[in-house]
Amino acid sequence: MRLIIAEKPSLARAIADALPGNAQRQDGAIVCGDTTVTWCLGHLLEQAAPEAYDPADKQWRLDRLPIVPSTWQLAPRPKARGQLAVIRKLIKQAKEVIHAGDPDREGQLLVQEVIEHMKYRGPVQRLLISDLNRPAVSRALTTLRSNAEFQPLYQAAQARARADWLYGINLTRAWTLTGRQAGHDGVLSVGRVQTPVLGLIVRRDNAIRDFVPHPFYPLWVDLQVAQGQLRAWWVPKEHQPLDEQGRLIDRAPADALAAQLPGATGELTQLEQQEKRQAPPLPYSLSALQVDAARRHGLSAQVVLDICQRLYEQHKLITYPRSDCRYLPEDHLSLAQRSLSGACQNDDTLRQWLDGADFSLRSKAWNDKQVGAHHAIAPTGKPADLSQLSATEGQVFRLIVRNVMAQFYRPLRTFEVKAEFTLLKEAFRARGLSILDPGWKPLFTTREDTPPLPPLTQGEACQALGAGVEEKETRPPEPFTDASLIKAMMNIGRYVDDPAVRRTLRDTDGLGTEATRAGIIETLVQRGYLIRKQKALRATRLGTALIAALPSAVSTPERTALWEQRLRAIAEQQDDAYAFQQALLEDLRSLLTHSDAGKLKHSLQTAKGEAGGVAKRTSQTGKRYVRRKSPGGRKKTTTKN
């Protein structure tokens, strides 16, 4: 008997549907001739608890830390025993086993750890499926590979699981016990990804809280030129009182110049004109989709992930969603017109986009060299009955189809003009943008952010019609939202101070993975470290206090991002899992010496989390500024005297 072990029931059903013969369902399995398909239910096994290694560690004690198993053990998850019994019975009868976990690091671990836990020693092959449609599954069944090829991937996943256990168990126990000494009754959870994510939010909240606005004074002038009018902005000289961004912070010079400008003449002294071509945005990875869905439709990262899983498993409308790739295989190009036509059948908006597509075009999205274990999220081609989808499912599905459809639209062509005028020996700049060919742009927005300028000629004369000075205030950083936090986790190098580390992190996956980022955010909310205020994610008093009490190395991104880099190196056979663990243990022992009840108690007493709202800020001019929302939903700053 040939046994196929899938990662989840939906994948098992898709495999069984693609096998020859009549499928017969059994308890926990599907029999198709001489092949039986069974499944896991996510992780059936988990790292054993500390007391499994030594009963003395059931009680939490500082003098027992760090806890380091000498021989690692796995234990069945409480709800998994029944399915494990099914797999155990079937694997004893199998002459050949096929590993059908998802095509990524965790998928490799999830099924292989079950096979090894059952002590199966026969041949194991690997089935890689990223699309649940029958033709795709049938093709995958004809291209099985040896599971031995994926052993480095398994070792990296196993190293990650063990390292997370060591880090989380030991630091959580240390700071929870320290918290008790400081008067906090509850678990203080610390994790190698969740804590740096919390640290990002706490530091952003602190920057908002401590921000002191100051006024600045941009000066505009309306100019008459040969073929029309335009507005230009003064460029103050370096001897003027300027802030770090070159903005004028003393109104007097601006008022004096504005009074002299009406009627003044000058000329166009610098002119840059350039035609630009912009390729369409690439198809989505999961994180990129979560960012766009949050911005456009206000959906949380977890909601988007849940929707994608339903579109993939239940509706079979999209390919594997937990992808970190934004490129598609080259052999999918010939199938794209058919799959997009199927996806667009039952929706007026999608059909309209389809009518405008030119399938003779080829964008840079079709690139085998950029595709790893996964390719970008794409429609499968199954006709979508949007009346059977929820409103949010329809919104996410349209986004996925749109970004693939955009690959068959012309590039956006624009004509950009930058002009500098000289009047009264002062420089004034204007910028304009004309759209020569909208290309893919109408699929995304019809808004034009920068209006065009009238036709201009180098050296032509101009005359000032009027001028004015605006009073503006600098604004604090925006609080994190699901969209901006996911983007920060993807591009974590931007939040690292060390230039060498930032360069190292430029090409890594950042904090977390495509599959875990949404769950990390929700875990922080559930544990009381974060709250959602409208769309914003703010740290609570407890979350703020924990970050203040922890060593900065635990709450900053450098360590965990470099972890991910080493795990990738293990998967690529460029690093060693044992060496990685030994380095972690050395680091862990050092961190444990920093648990300090006095510091934690002080942090809990002084933390001012954002649960109660945004604090009022006083500007340098003595006014109080309160962040509000206008009736139209746009944030604005109002003053109270």
Contact assessment for residue 635 and residue 629, using Cβ atoms and an 8 Å cutoff:
yes
The whole-number pLDDT of residue 460 equals: 97
Tell me, what DSSP letter sits at residue 374? -
CA distances to 127, 158, 469 from 161, rounded to whole Å, are 23, 5, 59
Taking residues 224-234, report their average pLDDT. Answer: 97
The whole-number pLDDT of residue 620 equals: 41
Share of the chain above pLDDT 70, in %: 93
The whole-number pLDDT of residue 385 equals: 85
The whole-number pLDDT of residue 50 equals: 97
Tell me: pLDDT of 231 over 90.
yes
The whole-number pLDDT of residue 232 equals: 98
Contact assessment for residue 98 and residue 126, using Cβ atoms and an 8 Å cutoff:
yes
Tell me: pLDDT of 639 over 70.
no
The whole-number pLDDT of residue 499 equals: 76
The whole-number pLDDT of residue 282 equals: 98
Round to the nearest angstrom and report the end-to-end CA distance of the chain.
82
The whole-number pLDDT of residue 629 equals: 34
The pLDDT confidence band at residue 506, using thresholds 50, 70 and 90, is: low
Tell me: pLDDT of 444 over 50.
yes
Which comes out higher in pLDDT, residue 607 or 62? 62
Question: How far is it, in rounded angstroms, from Cα 607 to Cα 188?
Answer: 15
Question: How far is it, in rounded angstroms, from Cα 519 to Cα 525?
Answer: 10
Question: How far is it, in rounded angstroms, from Cα 151 to Cα 142?
Answer: 21
Q: Which of 312, 320, 529, 625 is catalytic?
A: 320
The whole-number pLDDT of residue 608 equals: 56
The pLDDT confidence band at residue 351, using thresholds 50, 70 and 90, is: very high
In 3-state terms, what secondary structure has residue 290?
helix
Using CB atoms within 10 A of its CB, is residue 562 exposed (0-12), middle (13-18) or buried (19+)?
A: middle
Strand order of the β-sheet with 617-618 is 617-618, 624-629, 635-640
Structural domains of the chain, ranges and CATH numbers in brackets: 2-44+80-143 (3.40.50.140), 158-210+477-612 (1.10.460.10), 215-279+415-473 (2.70.20.10), 286-408 (1.10.290.10)
Which helix (DSSP H) or strand (DSSP E) does residue 627 occupy?
strand 624-629
Question: How far is it, in rounded angstroms, from Cα 319 to Cα 283?
Answer: 12
Tell me: pLDDT of 109 over 80.
yes
Q: Could you report the per-residue pLDDT of 529-569, keeping only the tens digit for each?
A: 999 998 899 999 999 999 999 999 999 988 877 787 788 89
Torsion of CA 452, 458, 463, 465, to 10 degrees: 10
Q: Could you report the per-residue pLDDT of 69-108, keeping only the tens digit for each?
A: 999 999 999 889 999 999 999 999 999 999 999 888 889 9
Q: Could you report the per-residue pLDDT of 179-221, keeping only the tens digit for each?
A: 999 999 899 999 999 999 999 999 999 999 999 999 999 999 9
The pLDDT confidence band at residue 493, using thresholds 50, 70 and 90, is: confident
Tell me: pLDDT of 119 over 70.
yes
Whether the link from the prior residue into 66 is cis, omega within 30° of 0, is yes
The whole-number pLDDT of residue 504 equals: 63
CB atoms within 10 A of CB 475: 13
Q: Could you report the per-residue pLDDT of 603-630, keeping only the tens digit for each?
A: 888 875 444 334 344 344 344 333 333 3
In 3-state terms, what secondary structure has residue 19?
coil
Q: Could you report the per-residue pLDDT of 282-341, keeping only the tens digit for each?
A: 999 999 999 999 999 999 999 999 999 999 988 999 998 988 899 999 989 999 999 999
Taking residues 168-174, report their average pLDDT. Answer: 96
Question: How far is it, in rounded angstroms, from Cα 102 to Cα 112?
Answer: 11
Question: How far is it, in rounded angstroms, from Cα 562 to Cα 502?
Answer: 10
Taking residues 227-253, report their average pLDDT. Answer: 94
Using CB atoms within 10 A of its CB, is residue 451 exposed (0-12), middle (13-18) or buried (19+)?
A: exposed
Does the active-site annotation cover 409? no
Q: Could you report the per-residue pLDDT of 581-597, keeping only the tens digit for each?
A: 999 999 999 999 998 88
The pLDDT confidence band at residue 135, using thresholds 50, 70 and 90, is: confident
